[in-house]
Amino acid sequence: MAANLSPFMNPAAVATYTHDTPRKVPGLADLHRMTAILLAERAPAAAHILVVGAGGGLELKAMAEAVPGWCFTGVDPSSAMLDIARETVASYTDRTTLLLGTVDQVPRGPFDGAVCLLTLHFLDRSERLHTLREIRGRMKPGRALVIAHHTSPDGNSEAWLARSATFADQTVSNTQKSANSAKAMAERLPLLTPAEEEALLLEAGFIEPKLFYAAFSFRGWVAIAS
């Protein structure tokens, strides 16, 4: 696992994940609702959805609540994050399978939709491409993939990451603290521009990538398995 992912392996470091994350990511609950809507456009009422980077379980819970007919396979390489997901989806255990690992450990499916939220920004280009290809290989053609994570919107990642850090701090004025945090994130996260993100989706075997979510440094796309 990349060094910038090691905090997710530490139970103490992720103990407050489900409390903190909705405050840090603008419109997270709406992102989850939009994700379900986009998947549902191409998935049947009784669909099997793949969730990659499912630690914490927030998107699993939101989708399970939104669509009673869907079942889910979630995978994450952090046992600490999977433990939290298990608690988060405790009311939906009959419809949720959680696996320890990366997408490589997921059965071939094929799935009726796939989701990868707040995760791909941690992976370098080659690991992202591998992850996206393996997701694609487990999906039925014509089904939707939804992704959302930090990007470098106009090549000036630090300015946008600083705004995201200010939002996460629940303040309004960008501070030295948010600037420092943005600098550290820009150094350790292998962020891509939106054009690079869309090119990678195409290279991995998806078509028609469409931007649907933009919030400071965050961007979200829906793309179709070819």
Ligand X SMILES: C[S@@+](CC[C@H](N)C(=O)[O-])C[C@H]1O[C@@H](n2cnc3c(N)ncnc32)[C@H](O)[C@@H]1O
Cα 97 vs. chain centroid, distance in angstroms?
17
In the bound complex, what is the minimum distance in angstroms from residue 181's beta carbon to ligand X? 15
For ligand X, which is the closer residue by CB, 47 or 135? 135
In the bound complex, what is the minimum distance in angstroms from residue 98's beta carbon to ligand X? 11
For ligand X, which is the closer residue by CB, 122 or 221? 122
What DSSP string describes 128-164? HHHHHHHHHHTEEEEEEEEEEEE--TTS-HHHHHHHH
Rounded CA-CA distance 13/226 in Å is 39
Q: Among all residues, whose Cβ is closest to ligand X?
A: 55
In the bound complex, what is the minimum distance in angstroms from residue 77's beta carbon to ligand X? 5
For ligand X, which is the closer residue by CB, 10 or 46? 10
Contacts (Cβ under 8 Å, ≥6 apart) of 97? 71, 72, 73, 74
| Amino acid (1-letter code) at residue 159 | A
In the bound complex, what is the minimum distance in angstroms from residue 173's beta carbon to ligand X? 26
Chain residues binding ligand X by CB under 6 A are: 5, 8, 21, 52-56, 58-59, 76-78, 81, 102, 117-119, 122-123, 131
Rounded CA-CA distance 131/125 in Å is 10
For ligand X, which is the closer residue by CB, 10 or 44? 10
